[in-house]
Structure formats: C-alpha cells, structure tokens
Chain A
Amino acid sequence: GNSVTQMEGPVTLSEEAFLTINCTYTATGYPSLFWYVQYPGEGLQLLLKATKADDKGSNKGFEATYRKETTSFHLEKGSVQVSDSAVYFCALSDADSWGKLQFGAGTQVVVTP
C-alpha cells in the first residue's frame, strides 16, 4: 500500500535559519503530493502541492520538488520566521484511491526569535 515517511520532530530553529523537512513516499501509481500546515489551534491548510514528476510547488517562501527518482518531496524554506512555527504534514493522493489522502506523521517546527 501507499505510505509517507517524514522526519521526526520537533525541529527547533532560530529565526532566519534554513528549514528542510524530508519526506519520502511509497506508491504504486503516480500520486499527487502535498504539504499541509497546521498552526496551533487551527485546522490543516494546504501549503503547496505537485501533481507530477519534476513539478515544484511553492507558497509563502516554501518550496518542494516532486522527485520521482528518489520518491521524495522535501519541504524547504530559506529563512524561517517565528510565525512559521507549526506542524507540517506531507501527504499523497493516489488517483486510484478516490482522492484519499495518506498523511505522514507530521513534523513540529519551532522557530525561536
């Protein structure tokens, strides 16, 4: 079956540091890949997505590139802010599964001033 593996947290960074959260996946087909963010006390929000190999999703300074050869979708941001403190979830959706999302375990990111 499909699965998503992402690095464990918490990840603690200083403001303006570089952030990388690794995400790898296993899927039988050609899934779409997503990063969701959950801010404290709020629901999940779509951060970015990529639907085919070599696509790069980007939003709010975050980027992730769909790498089919390494089955990865790592999230990066060049300079984090305190407001980026949240839990980040990598997810995939297989076209054969009616759009159901398979989530990774989530990575908590804490950015300190």
Chain B
Amino acid sequence: GAVVSQHPSWVICKSGTSVKIECRSLDFQATTMFWYRQFPKQSLMLMATSNEGSKATYEQGVEKDKFLINHASLTLSTLTVTSAHPEDSSFYICSARRQGAGIEQYFGPGTRLTVT
C-alpha cells in the first residue's frame, strides 16, 4: 500500500505556456502533500506544503504566483507551472502523508519538465 502516482511522467512545453502536474495517492487518503524540486545530481528542495482544502504554504524564495498548488481532495494535489521559462526545467516530485499515520511521506516517481 501507500502508492503515489504522478502524471505526466515527462512533459515538454514551450516558453510562456503553463503546465499542470498531478499527484495522486492511489490507495490512501492524504491530508498533506508536499512538492519538491530536484535539480540534476542535487538534492530535493521543498517548494510547498499543501493541506487538503486550504491554501498551500510556500517555502521562502518560491514564487506562489508562478507555482500554483491546489489540493482539492484527499487524494489529489496539482502543481501548475505558469508562464514557464527554460529555468523552470527540472524534476518535480510530490509526496503524500497518510491521514492519521504519523509523519512518514510516500513519494511519487517524479515529473520531468522541459521548457523549450
């Protein structure tokens, strides 16, 4: 159990367009989901914490108007990269915390975004 999926796994978009990435908890309810960004050969950087039904909490230095996060249900959170630029190209990873099950996070496989 505790499977998290992301869709798409890989996306290419043109500069100036927006792209939406979905994160789903497939077999559990997740009150909290996290979004990370991972640069090549580097660690994960937490972008924001998303709680179901409320606004996301962004980490310092992350533009909330650029990276829109919605957590509309207990199994789905979305990250929309608006007006994407080449510097937004990265690997985006989500994780989910199971409702009522402590602090352990379950990670999705990630989404590779390339902005041309």
Contacts and interface: CB of A to CB of B under 8 A. Distances in A.
- The answer to whether A and B assemble together is yes
Interface of A: 32, 36, 42-46, 49, 89, 93, 95, 98-106, 108
Given A99-B32, A99-B97, A104 B107 contact: no
B32 A42 contact: no
A33 B32 CA distance: 19
A94 to B, nearest CB: 9
Interface of B: 4, 32, 34, 41-44, 46, 49, 93, 95, 97, 103-110
B43 A44 contact: no
A87 to B, nearest CB: 9
A46 B110 contact: no
Contacts of A105: 42-43
Nearest to B108: A43
A101 B43 contact: no
